[in-house]
Structure 1
Amino acid sequence: MNDPDTRPAVETLDQAAGLRRWAEQNKAHPTATAHEVAPLSPPAPDRTLILFGPTQAAGPAHKTLERWHQQGHQWIGHPARWRMLPVDNNHRDLQTLTRQQPRWGLWIDSDLDAFRRAFQTLRQLSEQGGPDHVLALHAGFPRQGLLNNLREAAHRYLGVRLLLIDEISD
């Protein structure tokens, strides 16, 4: 039988143990509160973004997540939690990968031919049973103009929802 008088003592012991662990981990900052101590290392990646585009786009795509995080987009969390997994749009098991991975992105370059290539990639993904929601990652285009045109064309002609993030312009 559980004696109701012993439960608070057990909870107090658990809290005390947690506080001791916190104090042990933060010996370098003896006067700091729990909110003042920065983590010693960035969090380990626990979110994967399947990224279509050139393999070298993983670095710039990650910088885009960092920029959005700095602009206040809370859904990103700490940018170090994201792992970019570049995938060729001719991936053999695209349908299986689509069922396994919930987060998809498309890197859009800034050269004159970038939007044609992006639409072509979205078309190939659609034809191969790829994702129907894809995040547009880029170096910082304004939302109006070509990105909106690409989003509308992807939706109208391919049934793909291209997700655009509002950028805060300087």
Structure 2
Amino acid sequence: MSGQDQAAGLRKWADLQRQQRAAQDEPQDTHASAAPASPVSTEEAAVHTQDALAPTVAAATEPATVTPPRPQKPLVVIGLPHTGAAQVDKVRGRLGQWSALGRQWAGDPQDWQIQVVMADTPSLAMLAKEHARWALWVTSDADGFASMYRVLRKVREHGGPRRLLALHEPHLPRQGLLENLRDAAAYYLDIELLLLAR
């Protein structure tokens, strides 16, 4: 039985009582043929309350249909300066950009279980065995190539994954930073860096 429905029934009963009192307090019209309303007894009020609650009792016996949450796809991201919720939000924002461009692989950014990891974490090799989806957060600033290459070198030294998605700005051209980074990772570190199609 819902407290909200019970309260609604009691409010109706109280409104009925007020109306009856107001009708009794008003001066009687001598031309009116209607008889004044009689006060509601406690039994009548209980019946009225039960009637108001009846749908709630019936609904409470039906099983509730709960939609199970969609399973999230794990994605481990390296290359961000820090870990934490703000960094996860940055990754979700970037996935949202790709999704807005119609890239089906990005899907709904909320469907991803994002974990930000530092490239030199001691448990990197264990995480690489546990998780299949990895991404490198690519920064496009002036020092982008050098800093991203250092991250990839740490990934290699700590037994990290050998295949990563380059998570970059959607309109960053392949020529230059992205292709140079992909080629250097493959040639010097034996790491495959997957570039996103524009």
Contact between 1:60 and 1:139, CA under 8 Å: does it hold in 2? Answer: no
Identify the match of residue 76 of structure 2 among 37, 50, 55.
50
Please report the TM-score for the alignment, with normalisation by the length of structure 1. 0.68
**SS of equivalent to 1:74:** coil
- In structure 1, give the amino acid aligned to 2:108: H
Corresponding position of 1:91: 121
Measured in 2, the distance between the counterparts of 1:78 and 1:97 equals 24
Give the structure with the higher percent helix: 2
Matched, 1:145 2:176: yes
Corresponding position of 2:188: 157
CA RMSD of aligned residues (A): 2.2
Corresponding position of 2:104: 74
Unaligned runs of 5+ in 2: 1-62
Corresponding position of 1:134: 164
Measured in 1, the distance between the counterparts of 2:71 and 2:167 equals 19
Measured in 1, the distance between the counterparts of 2:168 and 2:107 equals 19
Corresponding position of 2:150: 120
Residues 4-36 of structure 1, C-alpha deviations (whole Å, 9 max, x = no match): xxxxxxxxxxxxxxxxx9xx88xxxxxxxxxxx
How many residues were matched structurally? 129
Corresponding position of 1:28: none
Please report the TM-score for the alignment, with normalisation by the length of structure 2. 0.59
Measured in 1, the distance between the counterparts of 2:87 and 2:146 equals 17
Measured in 1, the distance between the counterparts of 2:116 and 2:178 equals 21
Unaligned runs of 5+ in 1: 1-20, 26-38
